[in-house]
Amino acid sequence: MAIAATLGLRPHTYWTPAAVLAGPATGPRLIARRRIVFATGRERMAYHQAAEIGAEGAQALIDGVRMATRKNAAEEIAALLADLRRDGVTVDMAVVPEARPRLPATVAEIVQVHALMHAAEGVFYRDVVAEACRELGLEVVRTLERDLPEAAAAILDIEPAALAARLTDLAAGLGPPWNEDYRFAALAAWLGLAGLRGLGG
C-alpha cells in the first residue's frame, strides 16, 4: 500500500530545500529531504543580470531564465518523486511559501532600484519552483513565509516552543543537514498534511 506524503519547499535564488512528510498532522514523519539546485551560472540573479544589459533585452532575459530554471526545477523534483515512488511513497501536493512585496509592473522599473531587484528575484524563483510543481501535476499551496511559524502553531494547536522542538526532532532518524531552511520546508509540508489547500492563494 502506497504511503501518501506532502512535499514542502523553501526556494532561494538558485536552490531549494525539499522535505517530504507523511502521516497525520498530529504526528508527521520525515520521509525524505533533498537539496534541489535549479539555477547555475547565468540562470542565477536574473534581475541583476537584466540591469546590466539595458531595458531592451531585460524582459527577454527574464523570460529565458524563467523557462530554463522552471525546466531544471521540474527535472530535479521529478527525480525526487520518482525515487519516492520506488519506495512506495506518493506525493500529490507541494507547499511553496511565498513573499508578496510591492513591485513595479515592468522589469525596466525594477532594475532601477537595487532593493527591488532582490525582492523581485525572491518572488521570481519561488514562482519558478511553484510552476514546476504544477507542471508535474502536483496541487500547489502558497502561503506567506513570514507567517508560517505563527500560522502553524495556531492551526496545529501547538505552542511555538513545542513546535520548534518537534521540527528539530523530525530529522532524528536522518541526521544532518537540518538547518532553518530544511525546518521551514518541513513546516510547509506539515501544513499541507493539515489539509490547508488553497491557503494564501
> Quick one: pLDDT at residue 199?
39
Q: Give the mean pLDDT of 57-79.
A: 95
At 4-43, the pLDDT tens digits run 999 999 999 999 999 999 988 888 999 999 999 999 998 9
Q: Is residue 84 part of a domain?
A: yes
Q: Give the mean pLDDT of 70-79.
A: 98
Task: Tell me what the pLDDT averaged over the chain comes to.
Answer: 90
At 85-137, the pLDDT tens digits run 999 999 999 999 998 889 998 898 999 999 999 999 999 999 999 999 999 99
Please spell the DSSP secondary structure of the chain, one letter per residue.
Answer: -PEEEEEEE---SSEEEEEEEES-TTS-EEEEEEEEE---GGGSSHHHHHHHH-HHHHHHHHHHHHHHHHHHHHHHHHHHHHHHHHTTEEEEEEE--B------SSHHHHTTSHHHHHHHHHHHHHHHHHHHHHHTT-EEE--BGGGHHHHHHHHTT--HHHHHHHHHHHGGGT-S---HHHHHHHHHHHHHHTT-TTTT-
Number of domains into which the chain is organized: 1
Q: Is residue 199 part of a domain?
A: no
Least confident of 76-90, 130-144, 169-183: 169-183
196: confidence class by pLDDT, cuts 50, 70, 90: low
Q: Is residue 137 part of a domain?
A: yes
Enclosing domain of residue 49? 3-193
Is pLDDT at 168 greater than 90 in this prediction?
A: no
Q: Is residue 200 part of a domain?
A: no
Q: Is residue 133 part of a domain?
A: yes
Q: Is residue 201 part of a domain?
A: no
Torsion of CA 180, 182, 184, 189, to 10 degrees: -170
Q: Is residue 15 part of a domain?
A: yes
Q: Is residue 115 part of a domain?
A: yes
Report field, pTM of the whole predicted structure over 0.75: yes
Question: How far is residue 113's CA from residue 51's CA, in Å, rounded to a whole number?
Answer: 9
CATH value at residue 157: 3.30.420.10
